Structure 1
Amino acid sequence: MMEEPIEFSRPLRVAGVPRAGHRLALSATAPERAALAARLGLLALHDFSADLALSPDSLGGVEVRGSLSAEVEQACVVTMEPVRQSVREEFAFRIIAEGQEPSESPDAEDEVETVAGHAELGEVLAQLLSLALDPYPRKEGAELPPEASDPEASPFGALLQLRQAKKE
């Protein structure tokens, strides 16, 4: 089975992180932003970047702390008009050493596995962006029509009336 290409690929050689740590700034190119926008269902991804602080841990992995920022354009859930929003997200995760098992504790920091000595930072950042997006973007001043808030006027209004009649 063929793997899907990664739109924003930024592999990190885990063993290459210096003991003193390393700062890293990443940003997506125009073609990468277009591919990510298509994948995430965005109208556009105008900017996408991240600043990371990498520190090796005692188990052969790497602690990663940082922030991402993006300028996204989504369709308004009411009018379908474009809504431009800024996304800013702080994050922390741990890259685990190759062969190490991920923690099963629900309280554990998010973990990223290492494959062939590398961790795919770009894919992790793309996933963090997808989680930070507004699931219901709404253009300023956009309101649902009055009938949308009336349960009896909705397509399920008749079912609601039948259910209430059955209870009586």
Structure 2
Amino acid sequence: MSELSRLYGRRTVPAAPQHIVAGDAERDALARRFDLVAVNSLEAIVTLTVDGPTVRANGRVKAQIVQSCAVSGEDLPVSIDEPIELRFVPAQTDVAPDSEIELEESDLDDIEMDGEQFDLGEAIAQSLGLAIDPYLTGPQADEARTRAGIASEGEDGPFAALKGLLKK
């Protein structure tokens, strides 16, 4: 079960935009799932549109999170405001379990339905996860690198050796 489950049926899609707001327990569970210090708020407004056998979901996901700096570990507040465009599609039943599937660019935001049902909440949670910067650094990152004896970001990278060759 998803931390933010909101089940809908393809045949009973509401006409009005859906306003999804994560409760306290849901936000705590999402913080654990995505290894965040906290998810202070998470909401989405999504319009669902039935398009034949699929359901389109268009809207925005907004969140206020706190995550740790990838270098210093300090807590950093982050605002997320991302558009979402998804399609819930019927499950492919004619694909062998271990076969490779070729995806087109238009297939990349497709989520398979479970029969006639889809979980909009889980899709919102996944959208949040994709919006999180896994290498976020804060203002104390350079100081933490220096204390640890690690070169700064610009001094130690794939082109640092080439820079030294050019000076000769």
Say whether the fold is shared (TM-score over 0.5): yes
Match of 1:11 in 2: 7
CA distance in 2, matches of 1:133, 1:75: 11
Q: What letter corresponds to residue 120 of structure 2 in structure 1?
A: L
Q: What letter corresponds to residue 145 of structure 1 in structure 2?
A: T
CA distance in 2, matches of 1:101, 1:67: 33
Deviations 1:9-36 (A, max 9, x none): 0111111125xx4311101000000001
CA distance in 1, matches of 2:6, 2:141: 38
Match of 2:151 in 1: 149
Contact 2:9/2:117 (8 A) holds in 1: yes
Contact 1:43/1:82 (8 A) holds in 2: yes
**In the alignment, does 2:58 pair up with 1:56?**
no
Over 3 Å counting, the alpha-carbon distance change for 1:86 and 1:76 in structure 2 is same
How much does 1:139 deviate?
Answer: 2.1
Deviations 1:72-117 (A, max 9, x none): 1111122211111001111211111366779944221411111132
Match of 2:163 in 1: none
Q: Secondary structure at the match of 1:108?
A: helix
Contact 1:63/1:94 (8 A) holds in 2: yes
Extract unaligned runs of 5+ from structure 2.
96-100, 157-168
Contact 2:74/2:140 (8 A) holds in 1: no
TM-score (norm 1): 0.76
How much does 1:141 deviate?
Answer: 4.6
TM-score (norm 2): 0.76
Q: Secondary structure at the match of 1:63?
A: strand
Over 3 Å counting, the alpha-carbon distance change for 1:101 and 1:30 in structure 2 is farther
Q: Which one has a bigger Cα radius of gyration? A: 1
Q: Report the RMSD for the aligned CA atoms in angstroms.
A: 2.7
Q: Secondary structure at the match of 2:105?
A: coil
Match of 1:36 in 2: 30
CA distance in 2, matches of 1:148, 1:142: 11
Extract unaligned runs of 5+ from structure 1.
155-168
Match of 1:140 in 2: 139
Q: What letter corresponds to residue 126 of structure 1 in structure 2?
A: A
